[in-house]
Structure 1
Amino acid sequence: MATIRKRKLPSGLVRWQASYVDGGGKRRAKLFERKGDAEGWLTETRHDLARGIHTPDSISPTVNEAGALWLKRSREKGLEAGTIKGYEEHLYLHIAPFIGAKKLAELPSPAISAFADRLRDEGRSSEMIRRAVRSLGSIFREAKRRGLSAVDPTVGLDLDLPERDDPRPVIPTKPELQAIINGAAGRWRPIVLVFVFCGLRASELRGLRWMDVDFETREITIKQRADVFHKIGRLKSKAAYRSIPMAPIVLNSLREWKLTCPKGELGLVFPTGAGGVESHSNMMSRGFEPLQVAAGVTDLEPVLDGGKPVLDAGGEPKVVAVARYGMHALRHACASLWIEQGMNPKRIQKLMGHSTIQLTFDRYGHLFKDSDADQRAAEDIQARLLGG
């Protein structure tokens, strides 16, 4: 039975007590300053009880407490250290500072929307807001698995985030790719060629083994990856396990590189000098960035000292040429070349290791356009409307 009663507290304050019996038969109560607030809360609580989605405030953990359980579960599941690190950043940098002290039961869908708005006001990007809310949803689902929450209020939530950034990936031009390839020498030449013609992710290239390079069938098979902590592990999805054909230039370059490649227990194709797992930062700073600068594939950036521009003798800001692209841009370039060659979207999805065709279209849909067909369609529309 649900009731609302007026109560005078020992302090002399008058409050309205709303009480009800939960699904387990236990009576629970909550105090409010105004009767209307008590009535509204009790109506909503009874509605949730009838739907079987009510969690009493007294047993509901805070977001911080539920987040700790979520991270504990993630470690128990054996997720990669890099994935755990990303989850920790979401919780401690973007979730906890704003709603960490709130109980899960105090966060219905409108409160999650307000949290997303707060993140936007604090300068978080649309992508970071999505990731934070996605992690918050995982926290709710883990709490639900433990019986500490009845619902996940992030399900079906429309964040209504601004989409001002151009979603199309930045892709090097053909002259830029040619300059990079022509300037690549030593170990950097096969690295660049595998990126450009096979479309590997950097983590996949760093974890590539010679046993997965088949010179007879002229294919590279992706079976493992190296994470940010230089640990070899499984790929992130089933779709990432795939075989990719090698162009003749890739085949020949790898054959030459194998003769001088450092040996190691892991049998990696692109290891460190001691045969271990190469780091992403070393590949950028020692190889790909200097290669771009030497090839003239650069942008100009101001020279800073303590955050302030350094001026030359004429009082003008000094600038320096810096590499224009990250290694992932070469993966995008490979996809664009496959699309230009006329491969169908489903084949592109397979070769890129995308989990869904929607992901392929989200990234590269603009490249599948047929300009000639579009122009003919525009002309036909004009003819039907105006004649001639």
Structure 2
Amino acid sequence: MAVERRKDNKNRVLKEGEYQRANGSFEYKWRDKKGKRHSVYAKTLDELREMQIDVLRDVLDGIRADKNDITINDLYYRWMQLKRGLKHNTFQNYKYMYTQFVELDFGEMKVADLKRSDVRAFYNHLSDSQHLKTATIDNIHTVLHQVLELGVEDDYLRYNPSDNALKELKKAHNNDSDKRRALTVPEQDLFENFLSDQGQYHRWYPIFTVLLWTGMRVGEITGLRWCDIDLEDETISVNHTLVYYDKGGEERCGFSINTPKTKAGERSIPILPKVKEAFLMEKEYQKECGLDCNAVVDGYTDFIFINRFGGVQHQGTLNKALRRIIRDCNYEVLDKGEKEAITLPRFSNHSLRHTFTTRMCEAGVNIKAMQDILGHADAETTMDIYAEATKDLKKAELINFEAYFNTQKKAQIGTE
């Protein structure tokens, strides 16, 4: 005896799992691989069957049936519980970036609705409407990409919609033009000469000279102790870094000591004569002013570079000092009224590390030696800087070659 097939009110045969409800709408029921029941609803049978195709595709791809209930924020909260292996300040920075820029709006979006174009539009909004720098969006992308990757691993997403989104943003905004550049040799000379003069900024000469002639990161410099340098053997031992960040809770912002990011970060750097002079100058200045280090950070003390209160130097303070130095140095140059006078561009502490690297490239220092001095774990990082630095050098050499060729050509014509 034939089994009578179920039909809807228009006499259409309903497939397995399809049902027409009392109000005339339709429902499709199925069980996931764990046996849990799920349903989707539609006004018409045609709409329901389109939804069934999506359901079947999700089942075949192993995508979880409860994906429609999950938001980006839900993934973020789970990511926070699972994430391990990060330094405390790095994790706090990740959380700050997410809560400040993602959580309240974009984070409420359902992952089931998330497309690549949504992530691209979100990054464009951060850049165009909120006027965030690409470096800040890069930090946001770092945590958001990890959060969405968890969605892929947990079968809520078929792919990570943030893949390549940052790269596309940089290309679209022509971000290559905003790359940090090193000081040229004339600019560097101007900067050093201005600081070496006995004026109000002479106080900053030692720390900026050490930054400029060691290639150390600013956190490595501000965290440097007298016991980390050997003026007799003329070496600096780099084994930790000083960081300042929002620690959360009642303590809020404060200093902390971190180990270098990678094993390569722990290194020994030769002390050049100019750097040795800067250390001795700093020691003499503190002796004359009766300054002593009274800061203790995670058990570390006796820091070399301290402020007038005996506390450690803050990176933000150094950058503010740089801005004032650049301003007043340029005013001094302009007041002389010289045509085509060289002035200082706007630059940061990290630009001095980049400048040191560029000078090493120009001097033909071995790339492996550069990698060790700079503490790069990956030789590719050193190679990228080398390629960028030597690009301008090659251009200058070719210009010199062209000038030499033209001179020789004129000389030959003159003898004919």
TM-score (normalizing by structure 1): 0.74
Q: In the alignment, what sits opposite 2:56?
A: 46
Q: Distance in 2 between matches of 1:375 and 1:245?
A: 34
String of CA shifts for 1:97-150, please: whole Å, max 9, x gaps.
4422223344355554454455556455555444433321222345677x5846
Write the distance in 1 (CA, Å) between the matches of 2:93 and 2:59. Answer: 36
Q: 1:366 aligns with which of 361, 370, 388?
A: 388
Number of the residue aligned with 2:374: 352
1:237-290 Cα shifts (integer Å, max 9, x gaps): 3333232222111012213423454334512111234443221222333x4334
Q: Secondary structure of 1:231's partner?
A: strand
Residue pairs, 1:233-252, within 5 angstroms: 233-252=258-277
Letter in 2 for 1:92: T
Distance 1:361 1:243 in 2: 21
Q: 1:57, 1:103 within 8 Å by CA — same for their partners in 2?
A: no
User: Is 1:283 aligned with 2:310?
Assistant: no
- 1:267 pairs with 2:292: no
1:315 corresponding residue in structure 2: none
Which residue number corresponds to residue 99 of structure 1?
106
2:67–2:156 contact (8 Å) kept in structure 1 = no
- Alignment of 1:171 onto 2:205: no
Contact 2:67/2:111, CA 8 A, preserved across alignment? no
Q: Distance in 1 between matches of 2:118 and 2:344?
A: 44
Unaligned runs of 5+ in 2: 1-14, 197-201, 245-253, 287-291, 335-342, 403-416
Tell me, in whole angstroms, the C-alpha distance in 1 between the residues paired with 2:227 and 2:119: 48
- Deviation string 1:199-226 (CA, Å, 9 cap, x unpaired) is 1222221111222212233222221112
Counterpart position of 1:336: 358
Pick one of 188, 194, 198 that aligns with 2:204. Answer: 188
Q: How does 1:70-81 map to 2 (within 5 A)?
A: 70-71=79-80, 79-81=87-89
Counterpart secondary structure, 1:67? helix
Question: What runs of 5+ residues in structure 1 fail to find an aligned partner?
Answer: 301-320, 379-388
Q: Residues 299 and 169 from structure 1, CA distance in 2 versus in 1: closer, same or farther, beyond 3 angstroms?
A: farther
Contact 2:371 2:379 in 1 (8 A): yes
Measured in 2, the distance between the counterparts of 1:269 and 1:148 equals: 52
Question: What is aligned with 1:307?
Answer: none
8 Å Cα contact 1:240-1:354 kept in structure 2: yes
Report the CA distance shift for 1:352/1:42 in structure 2 as closer, same or farther (over 3 A).
Answer: farther
SS in 2 for 1:20: strand
Output the aligned Cα RMSD. 3.7
Query: CA offset at residue 95 of structure 1?
Result: 2.1
Query: Aligned pair in 2 of structure 1 residues 99, 293: CA closer, same or farther (>3 Å)?
Result: closer
Question: Which AA in structure 2 matches 1:209?
Answer: R
Range moving further from structure 2, 169-178 or 348-357: 348-357
Alpha-carbon separation, structure 2, partners of 1:204 and 1:227: 9
Q: From the CA coordinates, give the structure whose radius of gyration is larger.
A: 2
Contact 2:223 2:303 in 1 (8 A): yes
Q: Say yes or no: does 1:67 pair with 2:67.
A: no
CA distance in 2, matches of 1:211, 1:41: 69
Q: 2:145 matched to which residue of 1?
A: 137
Within 2, Cα distance between the matches of 1:284 and 1:44?
A: 54
Separation in 2, partners of 1:78, 1:60: 29
The whole-number CA distance in structure 2 between the counterparts of 1:267 and 1:129 is 37
Kindly indicate whether residue 326 of structure 2 is the aligned counterpart of residue 292 of structure 1: yes
What SS is found at the alignment partner of 1:250? helix
Tell me the residue number matched to 2:9: none
**Who is 2:38 aligned against?**
28
Query: Is 1:208 aligned to 2:224, yes or no?
Result: yes
Q: Taking structure 1 as reference, are residues 46 and 176 closer, same or farther at Cα in structure 2, changes over 3 Å only?
A: same
Q: Residue in 1 aligned with 2:241?
A: 225
Measure, in 1, the Cα distance between the counterparts of 2:397 and 2:344.
39
SS state of the match for residue 96, structure 1?
Answer: coil
Cα distance between partner residues in 2 of 1:58 and 1:197: 54
Report the CA distance between 1:90 and its aligned residue: 2.9
Measure the CA separation in 2 of the matches of 1:34 and 1:204.
Answer: 66
CA distance in 2, matches of 1:206, 1:143: 40
Could you tell me whether the CA contact under 8 Å between 1:199 and 1:330 is conserved in 2?
yes
Calculate percent identity across the aligned residue pairs.
22
Could you list the per-position Cα deviations for residues 285-339 of structure 1 after superposition, in whole angstroms to 9, with x for gaps in the alignment? 3x43343334337999xxxxxxxxxxxxxxxxxxxx9983222221111111111
TM-score, normalisation: structure 2? 0.70
Contact 1:348 / 1:360 at 8 angstroms: preserved in 2? yes
Listed one character per residue, the Cα deviations across residues 56-80 of structure 1 (whole Å, up to 9, x for unaligned) are: 2268532223323434555x75633
Query: Secondary structure at 1:227's aligned position in 2?
Result: strand
Alpha-carbon distance in structure 1 between the residues aligned to 2:182 and 2:385? 11
Relative to structure 1, is the Cα distance of residues 121 and 235 closer, same or farther in structure 2, using a 3 angstrom cutoff? same
Query: Once the two structures are superposed, what CA deviation does each residue of 1:146-184 show, in whole Å capped at 9, x if it has no partner?
Result: x58466614744553314131532322323322322232
